[in-house]
Amino acid sequence: MNDQMIEGDHSIINDRSIMDDQTIIARIVSGGKDYFRLLVKRYERAVYGMGLSFFRNAEDAADFAQDVFLKAFRNLAGFEGRARFSTWLYKIAYNTALNKASRGRDYRSLAEEDYAVDEDTPERRLLRRAVKDAVRRAVLELPERYRICVDLFFFYDRSYQEIEAITGFPVNTIKSHVFRAKKLLRDKLDSYGGGLE
C-alpha cells in the first residue's frame, strides 16, 4: 500500500489528515479494516511513549504498543464515542500497562526522557536544558502513582475529565497534583533567574 494513500470503499484518500477519528472508525466498523492503519499512524508515538514510561526499553514498549492497538481493534465496535477516541485508546493503554508492569517497577515520566534539541544558539540550548531539568525534577518530586496524571496533562494534552476517564483517579486529585507540579516547576524556574526571557 502506498504510504500517501489508502484504498477503501472504492475511494482514495490522498490526505489522511483530513479524516477525523470518527469518520475513520465508522469506515472500519463497516468493513474497511485497512483504515485502522490510519489510527495506528496517528497515535503510535503517544502509545509507544507511554510504553517507554512504564517499561523503559524499546522492545517492551513496541510489544506493549502492539498489544494496545490489537485490543483497540478487537474492541472498536464497542467504542461508543462518548469520549474522544484518543481518551478511549489511552485508557486501554494505561490499563494494559498496569496489568503488564511488574510490581516494584517505577513509572518513568516522559519528563525523564532525553529528546534531541534543534540546532540553535548556545544560550537557547542551555536555557532549554535548564527548563527540561526543572520539569524533570518537579515531576520526580510528585508521588509516583500521580506522575501519569502530570504526563497526560502536560505531554498528552488531556483534560482533567479525560485523565479521570483514563486513570480512574478523581478529578480533584488530578487537579491538585497538576497544580502541585505547576507550582514546583514555577519555583524551580524562578531559581533559574525568573524563567524564560
Over residues 182-192, mean pLDDT: 71
Q: Which of the two residues, 177 and 172, has the higher pLDDT score?
A: 172
Cβ atoms of 91 and 50 closer than 8 Å: no
Interatomic CA distance for residues 73 and 99, integer angstroms: 19
Q: What is the pLDDT of residue 126?
A: 76
**pTM greater than the 0.75 cutoff:** no
Structural domains in the chain? 13-105 (1.10.1740.10), 109-197 (1.10.10.10)
pLDDT in tens, 126-152: 776 776 676 667 777 777 667 888 888
Q: DSSP states of the chain as a string?
A: --TT-EEETTEEES-GGGS-HHHHHHHHHTT-GGGHHHHHHHHHHHHHHHHHHHH-SHHHHHHHHHHHHHHHHHHGGG--SSS-HHHHHHHHHHHHHHHHSPTTPPP--GGGS--PPPS--HHHHHHHHHHHHHHHHHHHTS-GGGHHHHHHHHTS---HHHHHHHH---HHHHHHHHHHHHHHHHHHHHTTTSS--
What integer best gives the mean pLDDT of the chain?
77
Q: What is the pLDDT of residue 141?
A: 72
Over residues 53-82, mean pLDDT: 90
- 41 has a pLDDT exceeding 90: yes
Over residues 109-125, mean pLDDT: 56
